[in-house]
Structure formats: structure tokens, C-alpha cells
Amino acid sequence: MGTRLSNKTALVTGATSNIGRAIAVAFAAEGAHVVVSGRSKERGAEVVERIRAAGGRADFVAVELDGTARTSEALADEATRVLGGRIDILVNNAGIYPGSTTTDTDEATFDRVYAVNVKAPFFLTAAVAPAMVKAGGGTIINLGSWVARLGIPVGALYSSTKGAVETLTKAWAAEFGPAGVRVNAISPGVVHTPVPDAAHPGDVMMKGTPAGASGTPDAVAHAAVYLASDESAFVHGTVLDVDGGRVGVAVIAA
């Protein structure tokens, strides 16, 4: 067990799988008491058990984030109660990816994706940040995406929501930073847990990068620990690319 987040409390949304699960596990391994939030009680219980088996502290809070202020506020209230009265770190990770093109997207899908990916973190931040300010400080980490800044021919809806999240990150850093709440974002590249002898459909999009392959959820979790810890005390309003160089670098093969 590490101590970089010792005596801290954290709420991680979408923490029952992939990146969110890795962040929750990493936070707990560094001493934080973590609320694992998500839709599936079964998967949530598995994450909590994994953390506790390693000597960490975690509890599960079930929620179906629907973009309403009511639901986000209820999650903030319950997480605050479970964590003993305060949330030091909020990770806005929950999101959905329809993977459709613009002409294939209906209005119901549009509204649902914006509700989960933008409205839910907006109102959750609105519910949590004032208490952080009152407590003297806190940290908010949002999950963006490389497709917010490098266009691809599918997923326009999803990429626009991540663009909104990255813009909100900078706006919230300006709004809450002077009161002691640091707000930053992580922009992952294609990230998934490798399966032996199985190709992932996103792997092709990481060709031509310095990394040359997709990343793992742990790579994002390491970045989240840094942004949540005092090591990044002078970091505000930053979007940290953890994307194998996808956005910033082009490798020209000989």
C-alpha cells in the first residue's frame, strides 16, 4: 500500500469497469477511501472486494446517471455520507459511446449521450465543489478523449461531448481554483484490457503513434493518482494526454 492519497476520500463514477475501475483500485492502493459508483451492483461488489482484499477501503454506491440535477445531487449526498462527511477527490469518469455516425444518430440517442457525458458531471461537480471550497480544497478530475481534438469519421456525437468536458475543465479551474479546488482532465487514447489472441477494433487507430499500440486502463489510473495527489499542487486547468502520442505526434514509417 502506498501513501500518496493517505487520509483522502474519493468518488469515482463509472468505476465498475475499464478506466474507472483501474482508477478506483489505484486510489485505494495509495491510501484513499473510495466510493465505487456505477450501475451494476455485481460488478461494483467485485471492485470493492478486490480493493478490500488488498487492504484498501472502498464502498459501492449504485447510481444510474441520467443527467438530472436530482440524480447527481443524490449521488453526491450518499457518497459524502459513506465517506464520513466529505469528498476530497471527484473523478467524473462515467460515459457512454454510441459509436454511430451523424446521420445514424437519432434525437433520443443524442439527448441520452449528452445527459450522461455532460449534464451528469456538470451537476455532480455543482453539487460537490461548494463543499470542497468550504472544506478548504479538493480535486476534480474529468475524463476527456483524444477524439475531442483529432477528428475521426465516426463518433461525432461522443467526441463533441468530450470536447465539452475538456472545455468545462478549464472553466471550472477558473471558477473554483482560486478557492482551493484544482480541476484537471485526462485525455486517454484507445485504452482497453488486452485479451490474448484477440484484436480490439480500436487498435488500428493507434498505428502511427510513438506507442504503436493501445494503452491499458492502468496507464490512465497512474495519471489520475498524480493529478489527485499533492505532487500536482501547481497544476490547474490542464488536459493531460495519456494517448501514446496520438494527438501530438506523427510517426512516419520508413
Question: Which residues form the catalytic set?
Answer: 158
**Alpha-carbon span 4 to 15, nearest angstrom:** 20
Q: Can you give 229-253 as a three-state secondary structure string?
A: CHHHCCCCCCEEEECCCCCCCCCCC
> Between the CA of residue 208 and those of 39, 149, 181, 193, what are the distances in Å?
36, 17, 37, 20
**Grid coordinates of 176:** 473554483
Residue with cell 477524439: 147
- State the DSSP code for 130: H
Q: Give Cβ neighbours of residue 237 (< 8 Å, ≥ 6 apart).
A: 169, 170, 173, 174, 177, 183, 184
**Alpha-carbon span 37 to 61, nearest angstrom:** 5
**Alpha-carbon span 97 to 182, nearest angstrom:** 27
Q: Where are the beta strands (DSSP E) in the chain?
A: 9-12, 33-38, 57-62, 89-92, 138-143, 181-188, 239-242
Q: Give Cβ neighbours of residue 27 (< 8 Å, ≥ 6 apart).
A: 5, 8, 10, 12, 34, 89, 224, 225, 228
